Chains A and B, each alone.
Chain A
């Protein structure tokens, strides 16, 4: 069971992320997709179908078909908040593996900066139609799991804050090596600690950017990939899990990890045949919407035991030259976080690392890489999405 070595990625594209005041979402779609078309050596008319991930920046499949002038092919719009990109990618892989289509496009794009919000967190530009009776922004929701994590593991708040700061410093350093990243300036621990507090213990540098951006991938059969390309990557495994508001309605839920991440990783590792992720995963691009999220993800994905992530941060385990390099492109923190595009941007970095195209941040001997996303928050329940790419056997 599973799709290990069944489908291939033959081309990818990604715009620069950031405050792209001169770009519309249609520009982001065109820029990302045409880079992917060129990389794959195809034209839009070669596509059999497309999957489109956006949360706020377009409804229906037509908001992808229109800017690209797709040739009356099916376009499925996928929304699963911040993990919509992985979800769209996985569903595109289903269609190819099933033999329904041969060559398909996956695109994610988001235009957040027209909303008037500069603060950390994400602003919807489309009203929900249901009535809400509690309001929160993401930093508050994630800060609460940080509070609980520190309390549960008896972490001194000052030490905990410093460990989180190290994650921000690491991702900023990686961002400085990434030309398409939103933030490319290295920072110091002192800067992180002195930055304005957003939602304790999370300060300004603990929060990811609010960004515009788009990313795209071309998925096809391994057979066709071999005919078309000398070098490409293949799907090794995936997992996708979604919660049911357990953290806020089950009164004994411990609120120190994401069950969805744990489950998604188990599914993906099983499919890919990974038994020791810490040893076998060469690069991991994970959902660091906030530094606390990245800290907990280290544990959820099995890179270390639960409760041990802070020790590993101090050891440098997740740095560029560490045992499991995480977020080599700066992550959501520095590459940016245009919601529907992020999952595909993560795959883009894994793809680049596998293809040897990661420039100054290129790792040696990358065989297996992982892209991981969280949609939602730990309070209103989340998705966990893991996609593993590797070199063809």
Chain B
């Protein structure tokens, strides 16, 4: 039996009050050091809580906002998640249904025996033109599931897909923002048609009535359309449909189905029947059955992540963080260093997998990895240790006066001290002894770099909701 072994989600802390753009509610936005890749890594780490990562044979990444046109990001996400290198990685771009398609294919691969376990992660940040409906409806977030055949908590029972060639929403390589046609046309002949066809066909094929489904987890483009579509199929939208979090998070694009699935699984009971459906030039629908709830120590629920938030003060902050305004007075970075491919490759275990060294002689854990132990001076007697899943305490910290970046020395649980940037906090919210965890984030070395640099930063813990 193939199905879900684990799952996780990530919603950035940052929210924009939609009052800033003349609407009600709020949406999630990426922080200044976040993108689809960093959110994906965070969701994968949530998904890997309590899981042996050495058994994962593949990672599929779905997004419409991957930062590169050419350069696989699933390989980078897999490295940041400290997965093995003899695995299959693939990116699913260009469609908001990439996650459900990847989930179908991962499930088929496991069923066929070509992999034992595959992570499917989807992550997106929707970028609508300032003042547009896409900006108001959009959100940022990520979701991940681990597919396998053993110890399956949520079994994948069946699935079905339809394709639909239509220009409803599109973005060319050179476009900063989403394009769309008139929404009445888009939603009628795009979303409602394909979702209705796929979900309806699967229910008909398997003789399922709407009442047999405990939760419909449907890609949610706005506050209304999903409800109308579900009603048309006989569902009670108040009871049977997973809330799309419009007005709190917003439409997270390719991440939407997996993020909403995580919310459903947070509260699912054994025996629950779930229909998961994604949309984007067609639909995939996947029928699942919960065998047992998936509990994992340290995983933060979707509700908890919705509650744990920080609001940006003004619209300019949103424009600035997303580089939608050209800031001529940008400060020169103090350390004038630039992204370089050979060291990034050479040090990928440190930069991405966040490996430190543990001295075999004296046991000291040191970061960055050393050749000679700082404590006992033993040479080349180290083993690698993964530090990305460790919590720690702030030993000292500071807000950088030029970049306003937080930085600090972090003493990790179990040993080791890391000097790193900190994020999602200020000197008012963290101090000496505050408990933090590590988060994979972007860093801008020089503005003219053509490679995006990533680093691990310390962030405050998010309370479980």
With both beta carbons as reference points, the residue of chain A lying nearest to B407 in the complex is identified as: A136
In Å, the complex CA distance between A28 and B449 comes to 35
Residues B334 and A147 in contact, CB atoms below 8 Å apart: no
Is B265 on the interface with A (CB-CB < 8 A)? no
A123 is contacted by which of B334, B407, B408 (Cβ under 8 Å)?
B334
Stretch at the interface among A180-188, A243-251, A273-281: A243-251
Stretch at the interface among A81-89, A113-121, A227-235, A352-360: A113-121
Is A132 on the interface with B (CB-CB < 8 A)? yes
Residues B333 and A135 in contact, CB atoms below 8 Å apart: yes
Residues B401 and A131 in contact, CB atoms below 8 Å apart: no
Is A200 on the interface with B (CB-CB < 8 A)? yes
Q: How far is the CB of B406 from chain A (nearest CB, A)?
A: 9
Is A158 on the interface with B (CB-CB < 8 A)? no
Which residues of A lie under 8 Å from residue B402 when comparing CB positions? Answer: 119, 121, 137
Is B396 on the interface with A (CB-CB < 8 A)? yes
B432 is contacted by which of A130, A147, A250 (Cβ under 8 Å)?
A147
Is A127 on the interface with B (CB-CB < 8 A)? yes
- Map CB proximity to B onto A351-389 as digits: 1 under 8 Å, 0 otherwise: 000000000000000000000000000011000000000
In Å, the complex CA distance between A251 and B387 comes to 14
In Å, the complex CA distance between A126 and B335 comes to 10
Whether A134 touches B336, Cβ cut-off 8 Å, given contacts A148-B395, A148-B432, A249-B374, is no
Residues A199 and B400 in contact, CB atoms below 8 Å apart: yes
Residues A251 and B336 in contact, CB atoms below 8 Å apart: no
Stretch at the interface among A10-18, A138-146, A214-222, A295-303: A138-146
Which residues of A lie under 8 Å from residue B421 when comparing CB positions? Answer: 134-135
Is B307 on the interface with A (CB-CB < 8 A)? no
Q: How far is the CB of B403 from chain A (nearest CB, A)?
A: 6
Q: How far is the CB of A25 from chain B (nearest CB, A)?
A: 19
Is B412 on the interface with A (CB-CB < 8 A)? yes
Is B417 on the interface with A (CB-CB < 8 A)? yes
B409 is contacted by which of A126, A135, A379 (Cβ under 8 Å)?
A379
Is B367 on the interface with A (CB-CB < 8 A)? yes
Interface size on A, residues (CB 8 A): 43
Which residues of B lie under 8 Å from residue A3 when comparing CB positions? Answer: none
A140 is contacted by which of B339, B368, B374, B401 (Cβ under 8 Å)?
B401
Residues B419 and A248 in contact, CB atoms below 8 Å apart: yes
Residues B403 and A250 in contact, CB atoms below 8 Å apart: no
A128 is contacted by which of B336, B370, B412, B415 (Cβ under 8 Å)?
B336
Interface size on B, residues (CB 8 A): 49
Residues B419 and A147 in contact, CB atoms below 8 Å apart: no
With both beta carbons as reference points, the residue of chain A lying nearest to B394 in the complex is identified as: A147
Is A255 on the interface with B (CB-CB < 8 A)? yes
Whether A137 touches B334, Cβ cut-off 8 Å, given contacts A131-B344, A132-B445, is yes
Which of B336, B418, B421, B427 is packed against the most chain A CB atoms within 10 Å?
A: B336
With both beta carbons as reference points, the residue of chain A lying nearest to B406 in the complex is identified as: A140
Interface positions of A from 250 to 291, Cβ below 8 Å from B:
250-251, 253, 255
- Map CB proximity to A onto B336-370 as digits: 1 under 8 Å, 0 otherwise: 11111001100100010000000000001111101
Is A151 on the interface with B (CB-CB < 8 A)? yes
Residues A140 and B416 in contact, CB atoms below 8 Å apart: no
Whether A198 touches B401, Cβ cut-off 8 Å, given contacts A135-B421, A249-B370, A249-B374, is yes
Q: How far is the CB of B142 from chain A (nearest CB, A)?
A: 22
Is A67 on the interface with B (CB-CB < 8 A)? no
With both beta carbons as reference points, the residue of chain A lying nearest to B433 in the complex is identified as: A151
Residues B445 and A140 in contact, CB atoms below 8 Å apart: no
Whether A147 touches B397, Cβ cut-off 8 Å, given contacts A135-B405, A250-B417, A251-B411, is yes
Residues A135 and B443 in contact, CB atoms below 8 Å apart: yes
Q: How far is the CB of B400 from chain A (nearest CB, A)?
A: 4
Which residues of B lie under 8 Å from residue A244 when comparing CB positions? Answer: 374
Which of A121, A244, A250 is packed against the most chain B CB atoms within 10 Å?
A: A250
A199 is contacted by which of B364, B401, B412, B445 (Cβ under 8 Å)?
B401
Interface positions of B (Cβ within 8 A of A): 332-340, 343-344, 347, 351, 364-368, 370, 374-375, 395-403, 405, 407-409, 411-412, 415-421, 427, 432, 443, 445, 453, 455
By Cβ-Cβ distance, the 6 closest A-B pairs, closest first, are A248-B419, A251-B417, A132-B337, A144-B396, A133-B455, A140-B398
Kindly list 10 other residue pairs between chains A and B, CB separation below 8 angstroms, not including A140-B400, A144-B396, A251-B411: A128-B335, A136-B407, A137-B400, A148-B396, A200-B427, A245-B374, A248-B419, A249-B367, A250-B364, A250-B374
Q: Can you sample 18 A-B contacts with CB below 8 Å?
A: A117-B332, A120-B401, A124-B336, A127-B336, A134-B443, A135-B334, A140-B407, A141-B398, A144-B398, A148-B432, A151-B432, A199-B400, A200-B427, A244-B374, A249-B417, A251-B411, A255-B396, A379-B419
Interface positions of A (Cβ within 8 A of B): 115-117, 119-121, 123-124, 126-128, 130-137, 139-141, 143-145, 147-148, 151, 198-200, 244-251, 253, 255, 379-380
